[in-house]
Amino acid sequence: MSVKGNSVNIKESSKDSGAYHHGDLRAAAIAAGMEKFGGQNHPDLGLRALARELGVSATALYRHFPNKDALLDALALEALNQLGAHQAQAAQSVGGGREGFGEMGVTYVRWSVEHPALVRLIYDRVGKVDLAVGNPTKMGEAFYQLRAGIAATMSEDISPEHRATATLHAWSLVHGLAMLILDGQVEYDPDMIRKVVTLADFGLE
């Protein structure tokens, strides 16, 4: 994740609320931000306004997020983790393997359609992703599931180059479908999406 902004200096205040223990405020802010992005197409998320909603001072919130960009980066990573968790659950529901990988793709498209502001936030905040050797912790659960899904469906003797190509193929397919739907070029039809995703071999043959 790249941070696109300068840190904001704020004077300490004696009005900080004691309602949150250490770490709880960060989690509460992320949860509140996720709720806003989940319910609005173009949410306007400001740290001071968010602090008021949480009943704390801006100073308290700035201790966890030095600026708005830091909060947006945290929300993008949380969105990736939630998407990845849904994908993992979908794959496990059909026993994993090749069928499970297809379910991960279908889930990617459906989740993106259901959370348009979040998926746009992800790709506004995420920098270049190295799907071959990137750190899963920094990439987020969704990218980790993508790479792990490819690994689980290919034999161990497949070259790293082919593995990376297959990963990019799969990502391009489902992300392209999602963006076509979100931009109004394609109508969202779950049956059609499933057919398109399961038709692709993702370079796994």
Query: What per-residue confidence (pLDDT) applies to 42?
Result: 66
Residue 110 confidence (pLDDT) above 60 = yes
- Tell me: do 108 and 193 sit in the same domain: yes
- Alpha-carbon span 99 to 157, nearest angstrom: 21
Tell me the per-residue pLDDT of 39-48, one tens digit each, with 9 for 90 and over: 666 667 889 9
Q: Would residue 59 count as lying in a domain?
A: yes
- Tell me: do 52 and 83 sit in the same domain: no
Residue whose entry in the numeric block shows the structure tokens 């770490």: 23
Q: Would residue 15 count as lying in a domain?
A: no
DSSP 64: T
Residue 40 belongs to what domain range?
A: 24-66
- Count: domains in the chain: 2
Contact 41, 121 (CB under 8 A): no
- Tell me: do 58 and 78 sit in the same domain: no
Mean pLDDT of 1-30: 54
Residue 137 confidence (pLDDT) above 80 = no
Tell me the per-residue pLDDT of 139-154, one tens digit each, with 9 for 90 and over: 678 888 888 888 777 7
- Alpha-carbon span 7 to 184, nearest angstrom: 37
Coil/strand/helix, residue 42: coil
DSSP 23: T
- Tell me: do 148 and 195 sit in the same domain: yes
CA 16 centroid distance within chain:
31
Q: Which of 35, 66, 97 is the last residue of a domain?
A: 66
Does this model's pTM top 0.85? My answer is: no
Q: Would residue 33 count as lying in a domain?
A: yes
**Amino acid, single-letter form, for residue 17:** S
3-state SS string for 166-191? HHHHHHHHHHHHHHHHHCCCCCCCHH
Least confident of 52-66, 120-134, 156-170: 120-134
Q: Would residue 141 count as lying in a domain?
A: yes
For 49-80, b where at least 16 C-beta lie within 10 A, e where not — what string?
ebbeebebbbebbbbbbbbbbbbbbbbbbbbb
Alpha-carbon dihedral 168, 173, 179, 183, rounded to 10 degrees: 140
Q: Would residue 204 count as lying in a domain?
A: no
